[in-house]
Amino acid sequence: MRDLLEDLKPGGQEWRTAEAIDPARLPAHIAIIMDGNGRWARMRGLPRVAGHKAGIEPVRVAVETCARLGIESLTLYAFSVENWKRPRAEVETLWRLLRIYLKLEMPRLMRHNIRLGAIGRVESLPPEARRELALVIDQTAGNKGMRLNLAINYGGRAEIVDAVNRAIAAARSDGTLDQLQFTEQSVSAHLYTAGQPDPDLLIRTSGEMRISNFLLWQIAYAELYVTETLWPDFKRLDLLNAVLEYQKRDRRFGGLTKAASEEEENVAETIGVPSA
Ligand code: IPE
Ligand code: IPE
Ligand code: MG
């Protein structure tokens, strides 16, 4: 955090926003639905894939900013299981861009001590993309800083189905299938994100008010932050603003704030609700 502040222009807007962030209450896990690439390009009279290309730089900025803030996990939605419905040429360009990103980013991931992981059915990716991904995952495996999860060929429902099937397969091979029972913990432990905290903050760009099959299980109590900004225009300041806004939220998890709780003690009788 301090290291990030040192890089910003003192008194500037980014610096003021970063300074207002409380380093003790950072979201442990930030998830981002990077949306709006196509619209960004169409607004400029460019093909949609130009928007995907322009979306690489904001990925780099978001990754670097989160790492320097001290975020534990960052999950980026890069390709959904539903995105195969798009024209073949667009999908192929996305795989090409993924490989370019991974190649370019590798040294920076090492420099920031970031460990890359992939969540989703990556076995269905084209072989070259899969190879490049496996290479970077392997090379960054020993890094102890931020976890960067790329959600690729990812679907929230598919993830839950895969988790259940994995649990069944494990129980079958242990000979414990008869006793198999699920708890929230055991389902979580079989998800792609096992061992990582649930996202505290979910950001979506381009103004769409939907989840689009992202991290359905894990975002049960995430704070949602939707910005009209299209992904290729997403800057460091946008990320800092999202974190600052997150810190203003009152997270109750179904309970009440401490003050409200105390106020409510023993009031039932005063409004004529008899004790049982
Ligand atoms: C998000 O941008 C990137 C991917 C889904 C791969 P879109 O391509 O969905 O852009 P819009 O939403 O059509 O503008
Ligand atoms: C969600 O965006 C998937 C990614 C950002 C990778 P989409 O553009 O695919 O979602 P919808 O179609 O608007 O719901
Ligand atoms: Mg979209």
Instruction: Show Cβ contacts of residue 233 under 8 Å, excluding neighbours closer than 6 positions.
Output: 40, 58
User: Is residue 141 over pLDDT 80?
Assistant: yes
User: Residue holding tokens 């730089």?
Assistant: 57
CATH of the domain at 98: 3.40.1180.10
Q: What is the pLDDT of residue 270?
A: 85
Mutation to probe ligand 1, out of 42, 206, 213, 231 (largest number of atoms < 8 A from CB): 206
Residue 59 lies in a domain: yes
Residue 224 lies in a domain: yes
Residue 179 lies in a domain: no
Confidence of residue 235 (pLDDT cuts 50, 70, 90): very high
In this structure, the residue with its CA closest to atom 13 of ligand 1 is: 38
Which tokens in the block code for residue 152? 């690729």
Q: What is the pLDDT of residue 275?
A: 76
Residue 180 lies in a domain: no
Ligand 3 centroid to Cα of residue 177, in Å, is: 41
In this structure, the residue with its CA closest to atom 1 of ligand 1 is: 35
Residue 207 lies in a domain: yes
- Catalytic residue list: 35, 83
Residue 168 lies in a domain: no
51-100 per-position pLDDT tens digit: 999 999 999 999 999 999 999 999 999 999 999 999 999 999 999 999 99
> Pocket around ligand 2: residues whose beta carbon is below 6 Å from it?
33-35, 77-80, 83, 208, 210, 212
Ligand 3 centroid to Cα of residue 36, in Å, is: 5
Q: What is the pLDDT of residue 114?
A: 98
| Averaged pLDDT score across all residues of the chain | 96
8-30 per-position pLDDT tens digit: 999 999 999 999 999 999 999 99
Residue 257 lies in a domain: yes
User: Is residue 43 over pLDDT 90?
Assistant: yes
Could you give the percent of the chain with pLDDT greater than 70? 100
Atom of ligand 1 nearest to the CA of 80: 5
CA pseudo-torsion sign 243, 109, 56, 155? negative
Count up the domains in the chain and report the number. 1
Residue 10 lies in a domain: yes
Q: Which domain holds residue 101?
A: 2-154+197-270
173-192 per-position pLDDT tens digit: 999 999 999 999 999 999 99
Whole-model pTM: value is 0.96
- Closest ligand to the CA of 48: 1
Nearest to 77 by CA among 137, 30, 129: 30
User: Is residue 107 over pLDDT 90?
Assistant: yes
- Per the model's pLDDT, the better-predicted residue between 246 and 274 turns out to be 246
